[in-house]
Amino acid sequence: MSDFWKDKRVCVTGGAGFLGSFVLEQLAQRGPKDVFVPHIEDYDLTLMEDQDRMLDDARPDVLIHLAALAGGIGANRARPAEFFYKNLMMGVPLMHKAWEKGVGKFVAIGTICAYPKFTPIPFQEENLWEGYPEETNAPYGLAKKMLLVQAQAYREQYGYNAIYLLPVNLYGPRDNFNLETSHVIPALIRKCVEAKQRGDEEIVVWGTGMPTREFLYAGDAAAGILLAAERYNGIEPVNLGSGMEISIHDLVELIVKLTGFEGRIVWDKTKPDGQPRRALNVDRAKEFFGFEAQTPFEEGLRKTIKYYIENQDKID
């Protein structure tokens, strides 16, 4: 275990959220001096005065910025202005204030949505500026991408230790299963489980099934983030992924099998597919700070399905 965390005060924005819960679990094993988690009821991180107050209350040595307004294609299409403004304002002013107040290290969490729509496969960090992001989530992707520009500029001008990580699509227990705002895996799990319980003859799935995606178990993502916080102090963005690509069609078939749903799958081809392919080159994370994903995909899906079934009555 690294002694990096010894005597460190750590602030984790978004620590009360899905990925944040895994980061906090793993931080607890590393034994920092203090971990501060700002809750939305107490700090609105889109307001600069609340950012000031949070930093004064937390006095962190390390700030891990997970907080984001995020969602699937439907949510991004319905609220593009909110996704742009809120993510920009939660990030850019916060990094500036962290630098002003002497926070030793800023760990910025970006998004795979920052990559161009037609990025060559596998996505390499060098491809980030070779085109415009996929239209349905470009406002979100670009707002988060500005943290990379800022981190590099602040490092160049001020010598500030800000790093930028690009996790691929996450999944796991405690994910958001709200069909209006969730990503593809929790949405499919909920649809299949509920359809099986009701005895439905079919489920309807958006798009054609042709696009591909890569997924990373949230516990693995948390491990990668903490390894980067401990070991990485560079200017380059770094992908966090599993290195496994699967089509949406095959993903749906797998979740149908694991949940035991026996009805038909109906593809609603009037709905958008999103980015055609997503798969990452993950060499840089291994080289720079020794990160490799550990959770086999089917095992992670089983854990996520089990969590949803056991907590179904508590989920909106």
Our CA angle for 137, 122, 188, nearest 5°, is 50
Q: Classify residue 263: in a domain, yes or no.
A: no
CB 133 within 8 A of CB 113: yes
CA dist 75 → 3, 19, 50, 139, 170 (Å): 41, 19, 26, 12, 17
Long-range pairs of 155-159 with CB within 8 A, sequence gap ≥ 24: 155/235, 156/235, 158/99
In the β-sheet with 245-247, what is the strand arrangement from edge to edge?
169-171, 212-217, 245-247
- 252-270 average pLDDT score: 96
Q: Classify residue 153: in a domain, yes or no.
A: yes
Q: What mean pLDDT, rounded, does the chain reach?
A: 95
- 76-102 average pLDDT score: 96
Q: Classify residue 135: in a domain, yes or no.
A: yes
Which pLDDT band holds residue 1 (cuts at 50, 70, 90)? low
* Residue whose structure tokens are 């390499």: 124
- pLDDT of residue 112 exceeding 80, the answer is yes
Q: Classify residue 87: in a domain, yes or no.
A: yes
Q: Classify residue 169: in a domain, yes or no.
A: yes
CB 244 within 8 A of CB 297: yes
Q: Classify residue 143: in a domain, yes or no.
A: yes
- 191-217 average pLDDT score: 96
- pLDDT of residue 2 exceeding 80, the answer is no
**105 or 76, which is more confident?**
105
Within 10 A of 180 (CB to CB), how many other CB atoms are there? 12
- pLDDT of residue 286 exceeding 90, the answer is yes
Catalytic residue among 115, 140, 154, 308: 140
Contacts of 45 (CB under 8 A, 6+ apart): 13, 38, 51, 54, 67, 89, 90, 94
Rounded to two decimals, what is the model's pTM? 0.94
- 55-75 average pLDDT score: 93
Q: Classify residue 191: in a domain, yes or no.
A: no
Contacts of 76 (CB under 8 A, 6+ apart): 83, 136, 137, 139, 140
Q: Which two tokens stand for residue 131?
A: 């085109």
Q: Which domain holds residue 152?
A: 9-174+215-244+277-295
Report the number of distinct structural domains present in the chain: 1
Q: Classify residue 255: in a domain, yes or no.
A: no
Pairing of strands 34-36, 9-13: parallel
The verdict on whether omega for the bond into residue 122 sits within 30 degrees of 0, i.e. cis, is: yes
140 is catalytic: yes
CATH of the domain at 129: 3.40.50.720
